[in-house]
Chains A and B, each alone.
Chain A
Amino acid sequence: MSWDLFIVFALVAVVLWALGAFFAWKERRKAVYVCTLAGLLVFFAFIVGMWITLERPPMRTMGETRLWYSFFLPVAGIIVYSRWRYKWILSFSTMLAFVFICVNLFKPEIHSKSLMPALQSPWFAPHVIVYMFSYALLGAATVMAVYMLIRKNKTTAAEINLTDNLVYVGLAFLTFGMLFGALWAKEAWGTYWAWDPKETWAAATWLCYLVYLHLRKARPSEWQDACVLLLVSFVCLQICWWGINYLPSAQGLSVHTY
């Protein structure tokens, strides 16, 4: 498997996901599941193929993590669809996955970098996978927040409830990612938390989502403030994920810049 074949697998997957999204509008549930899962299978086949060819999990470069993000967006989408039956959610997750696929197609980075010793660990895969899944869920929560802020008074209790659920599950996975990282760091470097810039931003992001949770408990009626908070939290998350590569505070100081 190689990146040259990515366009084939990606386009087949996107077409299948788009069909799934189309059937969601037509309320043909069985077709929704069949198409979306088939798309996921095709996309995952590419990931597995890359994993075998590279002889390492494809999680090292930004391009490789985008691969997982594109995969988990429809996963999160189909989970939300199966629980809340939003007709639009799959259209949205497909579109976003497509954007990330396009970034990979048009801005290919050095994809063939070899894996340095510090990254050769059983913690590597779970650390990155749970983070990407969490990012996908929290991304969906952010879109819900924008949608609710635009529609203001038309917002329903079910929409607020969905957003809360996305954040609860997303935060749980964010916690897994952070703590797996700490346990791994102890094995690799002898210290579980070093306030490396990436770790600092992970802590800031985690705290922001904790504010959301507690704010929703303290003032349930002020969901608009909570929505604004979700936007701020997602900005922190983006800085943590890729923004720190451009921050002066992280230059030469972070062990997380690849």
Chain B
Amino acid sequence: MAWKKPWGMTEGFLIGGGLIVVGLLLQVVLGPINWSLFAWPVNLVLLILLVAFIGLMYALRKRVYAFEWMMHSSAAVPCLLFAAVLTIVMGLLPQIKTGGVPWLSQMLSFWPFVIIWTWMMVISALAALNHLLRWKVKEIPFILNHLGVVIAIVAATLGNADTQTLQMTVFSDMPEWRAIDDNGEVHDPGIAIDLHSFTMEEYPDHTPKRFASDITVYTEDGDSVQGIVEVNKPLKVGGWKIYQYGYDTSRGAYSAYSVFQLVRDPWIFWVYLGICMMLAGAVCLMLFMAPKPVKQ
């Protein structure tokens, strides 16, 4: 029977099913999630609420049995399974901006998907906190894996709306400061790019081998940075990362202009921190967490 202590996986499946129903109701009432609403400072408020919520759950774990149970692997299994199934559905259906299968073709703004992933983050954070606060050296691998994934995914999700991606088309020797976003609106990124030369090398079959732009970037403070930008080698100036994005493909090496992508991602440090913790966690998974071998 469900709901008899100690809770196991059955309760996890019931809670997961409940969360999906709640998500579906929200989807019907509110419509798909609009991620642009999460821009600063809304994301900061949400982060503080999330941390406070997790802290409170941890503090009440002795009084509320559900919070205690959430730290165990039997709570993790159904949650991960729900997340896996929803992610598989996302992989099977073309993900497009509009149309397709209602709700499921826009999985990233589908409430049940986001709620299940949030539940996963809360469970993982609670488990990490539990191991962190009864500190022992041998708890490090567990903490790295569970806290690392939470930091990376929460920072990536909440920071998404603060990420700016602009495109700038620059003609030779005509310094440019206007950049456009996905909707074609013009923005002033606060930097100007002067293109000195664009070079391109081709393979014998005329597919592009390498293309690069020699540029000088001017910032609003009056600084200037000179450098070469090419694919896989962006240039970092004034909070922006400048990527080689394209060129006039009809003219190839004789292109009169070069297209750059400007990306600003204020939350990137936290994503990288999470990723580094996960990498260290994966090393630990292999060396310390795998069960000791038993010989036949």
Contact = CB atoms under 8 A, between A and B. Distances in A.
B187 interface: no
B294 interface: yes
A106 to B, nearest CB: 26
A211 B77 CA distance: 5
A5 interface: no
A63 to B, nearest CB: 18
Interface residues of B, number: 56
Given A168-B286, A217-B73, A218-B77, A117 B209 contact: yes
A175 B277 CA distance: 12
Interface stretch (B129-137, B217-225, B228-236): B228-236
Contacts of A247: 91-92
B205 interface: yes
A149 interface: no
Given A117-B231, A179-B278, A239 B91 contact: yes
Given A190-B165, A190-B243, A84 B92 contact: no
Interface residues on A, range: 35 or more
Nearest to B289: A168
Nearest to A171: B285
Contact of A188 (B76, B95, B231): B231
A120 B205 CA distance: 18
Contacts of A221: none
B279 A176 contact: yes
Given A188-B232, A211-B84, A114 B108 contact: no
B72 interface: yes
A218 B290 contact: no
Contacts of A236: 88
B290 A201 contact: no
B150 interface: no
Interface string B89-108: 01111110000000000001
B96 to A, nearest CB: 8
A208 B293 contact: no
B94 A248 contact: yes
B94 A249 contact: yes
Contacts of A114: 203, 205, 207, 209
A39 interface: no
B286 A169 contact: yes
B178 interface: no
Contact of A176 (B163, B233, B282): B282
A120 B231 contact: yes
Nearest to B279: A179
A211 B291 CA distance: 17
B283 interface: yes
Given A114-B207, A214-B73, A172 B275 contact: no
A49 B74 CA distance: 50
A168 B290 contact: yes
Contact of B80 (A116, A117, A210, A253): A210
A211 B243 contact: no
A114 B201 CA distance: 13
Nearest to B296: A158
B196 interface: no
B9 A158 contact: no
Contacts of A158: 294-296
Contact of A85 (B163, B205, B279, B296): B296
B289 A204 contact: no
A25 interface: no
Nearest to B242: A190
Contact of B74 (A86, A169, A201, A218): A218
B61 interface: no
Interface in A167-225: 168-169, 171-173, 175-176, 179, 182-183, 186-193, 195, 197, 200-201, 203-204, 207-208, 210-211, 214-215, 217-219
B294 A175 contact: no
A183 B231 contact: no
A116 B294 contact: no
B234 A208 contact: no
A164 interface: yes
Contacts of A218: 8-9, 72-74, 76-77
Given A114-B205, A114-B207, A165-B291, 14 more contacts: A84-B293, A85-B295, A114-B203, A120-B210, A156-B296, A161-B291, A168-B289, A172-B282, A179-B278, A200-B91, A208-B84, A215-B73, A247-B92, A251-B94
13 contacts: A84-B295, A114-B207, A117-B210, A118-B231, A157-B294, A161-B294, A172-B282, A173-B286, A175-B282, A190-B263, A200-B91, A203-B87, A218-B9
Interface of B: 8-9, 72-74, 76-77, 80-81, 83-84, 87-88, 90-95, 108, 156, 163, 165, 203, 205, 207-211, 230-234, 241, 243, 261, 263, 268, 271, 275, 278-279, 281-283, 285-286, 289-291, 293-296
